[in-house]
Amino acid sequence: MKRREFIKDLALGSLLFKFQPDLFAQGQKFPDLAWIKGESPAQITKEAISSLGGIQRFVSKGDVVIVKPNIGWDRTPKQAACTNPQVVKTLVELSLGAGAKEVKVIDNPCNPAQRTYARSGIAAAAKEAGGKVLFPNPHKLKKMSLNGKWLKEWEVYTDFVEADKIINVPIAKTHSLSRLTMGMKNWLGALGGNRNQLHQKLDQVMIDLAAFFKPCLTVMDGYRILIRNGPQGGRLSDVELFKTVVAGVDYVAVDAAGATFFDIQPQDLPYLQIAHQMGVGEINLEKLKIEKRTV
């Protein structure tokens, strides 16, 4: 290429960029939230991810990925206390398909991990997809500086810090303190120590933790939601078959969307309100670009 041609191309290119600024800014093409309804948990998860631009947007070749479901309770999938195993499985499959080096599935549960991992169906499902299902490793607990507004330091499983990408896969449930437990509350499962003491200022803790862990993607399982007696439920009548998955990068927005599952305005949840005021994310659903579909 001659110098003259190069300069000409350069000028042409910059001219084009001046009038078409979003040419390279691909992010603009994608919705803020993918809100998919459908019969199959795996299918709606796949659709949600592809609406957001496909898993390649979040996971690169060679990444170590952590998929963080809620495996907190010794409950079966139908009781909707833990994330739907099919949703978890799909995300493991997709991440591995995008060339992830390894996909770990970890949660520090409330009931014994051996029981919750098995009875939630998550261990089997994630293993089937090729994920590494790991019990929380006490040797990997490390007191870390979280630099939150209130929570300055706490014991964290270092797997979460060492991973290249974190995908948060909560389930939407009621909770008597934060009213709802969704994505941001899910981070308590990445902590060790006497985390029950964190309930004294739970709203701020949730915000501080979410900012620390910075998931690249949040996929909220709303296939079955727990409408009362959360966060464990028990009776099948506590569960509503809602058949929805909401995914997005803005984790505050995802939780805001989840609030509407329960006919609660996002503004009515104090932690979302605080997070919004701090500028962490958007809770006004009207300001968001939402792709809502039924498959």
Partner 1 sequence: MKKERSKKYRLIQALRILSQTVFFVIFFYLLLGTRFPGGDYIGRVEIFFHFDPLLALTTFIASRTIFVSFVFAALTVILTFTLGRVACGWVCPLGSIHQAFSFLFKRSKLLQPKRPKDNWTAWKYYILGFILVGTLFSLNLAGILDPFSLLYRSFVTGILPAANYGFSAFIGFLYTIHFFPMGDSLVQFQQNLAVNSVFLQGFFIGTLFIGIILLNLSRERFWCRYLCPLGAFLGLTSRWNVIKLKIDAKKCIECHLCNIHCETQANPFPVKGWKSSECVYCFTCSAICPTSAMEFPIKPKPEEIKKVDLSRRKLIFASLMGLLAVPFFRLSPSTKRASPKLIRPPGALPEEQFLQKCVKCSECMKVCPTNGLQPALTEAGPEGIWTPILVPEIGYCEYYCSLCSQVCPTGAIQELAIEEKTKVVIGLAWVDKNRCIPYDLGTPCIVCEEHCPTSPKAIKLVKTEVKLPDGTIQTPLAPVVDTDLCIGCGICENKCPVVDKPAIYVTSVGESRSERNQLLLDLIKEDSGPY
Tokens of 38: 């459908």
Containing 179, the helix (H) or strand (E) segment is strand 179-181
Helices (runs of H) and strands (runs of E) counted in the chain: 9, 12
Strand ranges for 188-238 from DSSP E:
217-226
Q: Which amino acid is at 69?
A: P
141 binding partner 1? (CB under 8 A): no
CA distances from 295 to 26, 38, 48 (A): 25, 5, 10
Radius of gyration from C-alpha coordinates of the chain? 20
Distant-in-sequence, close-in-space partners of 6: CB < 8 Å, separation ≥ 6? none
170 binding partner 1? (CB under 8 A): no
Q: At its nearest, how many Å lie between partner 1 and the CB of residue 120?
A: 12
- Closest CB to partner 1 among 28 and 176? 176
Answer for which of 26, 114, 147, 294 binds partner 1 (CB under 8 A) is 114
Distant-in-sequence, close-in-space partners of 59: CB < 8 Å, separation ≥ 6? 65, 94, 95, 98, 99, 100, 165, 216
Tokens of 164: 């290249």
How are beta strands 64-69 and 165-169 bridged, if at all? parallel
Q: At its nearest, how many Å lie between partner 1 and the CB of residue 9?
A: 50
Backbone angles phi, psi at 33, to 5 degrees: -130, 140
Q: In the stretch 119-138, what mask flags binding to partner 1 with x, by CB under 8 A?
A: x--------------xx-xx
Q: At its nearest, how many Å lie between partner 1 and the CB of residue 74?
A: 6
Give how many residues touch partner 1 by CB under 8 A: 31
Q: At its nearest, how many Å lie between partner 1 and the CB of residue 93?
A: 22
Q: At its nearest, how many Å lie between partner 1 and the CB of residue 181?
A: 9
Q: At its nearest, how many Å lie between partner 1 and the CB of residue 131?
A: 14
- Closest CB to partner 1 among 32 and 74? 74
Number of Cβ atoms within 10 Å of the Cβ of 263:
7
Q: At its nearest, how many Å lie between partner 1 and the CB of residue 270?
A: 11
The stretch among 21-29, 32-40, 170-178, 208-216 that binds partner 1 (CB under 8 A) is 170-178
Q: Which of residues 203-262 bind partner 1 (CB under 8 A)?
A: 229, 231-235, 238
CA distances from 290 to 118, 249, 253 (A): 35, 12, 10
113 binding partner 1? (CB under 8 A): yes
Answer for which of 7, 177, 241, 295 binds partner 1 (CB under 8 A) is 177
Tokens of 29: 């093409």
- Closest CB to partner 1 among 182 and 217? 182
Contact residues: partner 1, CB under 8 A: 74-75, 110-115, 118-119, 134-135, 137-139, 175-177, 194, 196-197, 199-200, 202, 229, 231-235, 238
